[in-house]
Structure 1
């Protein structure tokens, strides 16, 4: 079994919350889109996209818009993005449970979502202490013999955080 890689990406900078728009419906800002594009371009240097790659995103506007920017840059088909509302406002163990459903043949998984869940998940998996800012990407190697179904606390190594 080849080494598995997990990429955790917080959504791009979103518009300020207002009373007349639900949080779920907030869109990314222009400067957020620019930053996301820069980070997606940096991610291209360390990720391999192939038939054993999966992308999972929250269905909130700002997360799926960020996923589209990254996937366009990485040449991952937008129609293949797995979308679930369950990542939105989710506790890190609930996000982990979703990741644990990923099939064994997947070697590379990219997850788009929200804080604090994503930062907490990264820290739980890697025994690290980071806080993902908007558009930041945590690059995690899973330990030998660990697949996404068996991923749990302390079974990954934080290799880097892509911030620009």
Structure 2
């Protein structure tokens, strides 16, 4: 049986906050796009060949990050599961989305925002990390666990993928 993996990926570097644009609508800047592509290339070595599900916040910067990753790992962009509720979500709300992933999925990539993603990592793995933009964590599920079963302290933080 393949070990199931959860990848939590913070969106790339985005435009500065402005009164002229809603936070939700901010886009990746060029630096964010380049760093995202670099991290996506590094992520390839951590993926297994099993069934994959990509889930993304619908905020521009998160979805743009997800699309760059999908291009690099050859995952169809039209198959991205869009979840508006991941935007500005507490870790428990993100976990509820993950807990709905079907049992036949072997790895999940979730694209979102801080502090939710860092808090979720720390909750699942009893770790103490703060994800920077574009960075990804690789989390290993216990043997014979499905995504519907993970909760506080049940997982292992394998690595943080950085540039």
What do you get for the CA RMSD once the two structures are aligned?
A: 0.9
**Alignment partner of 2:68: what SS?**
helix
Q: How does 1:1-164 map to 2 (within 5 A)?
A: 1-50=1-50, 52-164=51-163
> How far, CA to CA, are the matches of 1:25 and 1:48 in structure 2?
33
**Alignment partner of 1:102: what SS?**
coil
Superposition deviation, residue 46 in structure 1: 1.1
> How far, CA to CA, are the matches of 1:160 and 1:96 in structure 2?
19
**Alignment partner of 2:21: what SS?**
coil
Once the two structures are superposed, what CA deviation does each residue of 1:118-143 show, in whole Å capped at 9, x if it has no partner? 00000000000000000000001001
Distance 1:49 1:22, change over 3 A: farther
The unaligned stretches of length 5 or more in structure 1 are: none
Are the equivalent residues in 2 in contact too, given 1:49–1:76 (CA < 8 A)?
A: no
Superposition deviation, residue 3 in structure 1: 1.8
Task: With the length of structure 2 as denominator, give the TM-score of the two structures.
Answer: 0.98
Distance 1:163 1:38, change over 3 A: same
Once the two structures are superposed, what CA deviation does each residue of 1:42-61 show, in whole Å capped at 9, x if it has no partner? 001111354x1100000000
Distance 1:66 1:152, change over 3 A: same
Once the two structures are superposed, what CA deviation does each residue of 1:27-80 show, in whole Å capped at 9, x if it has no partner? 000000000011000001111354x11000000000000000011000001000
Task: With the length of structure 1 as denominator, give the TM-score of the two structures.
Answer: 0.97
Aligned residue pairs, count: 163
> How far, CA to CA, are the matches of 2:48 and 2:99 in structure 1?
21
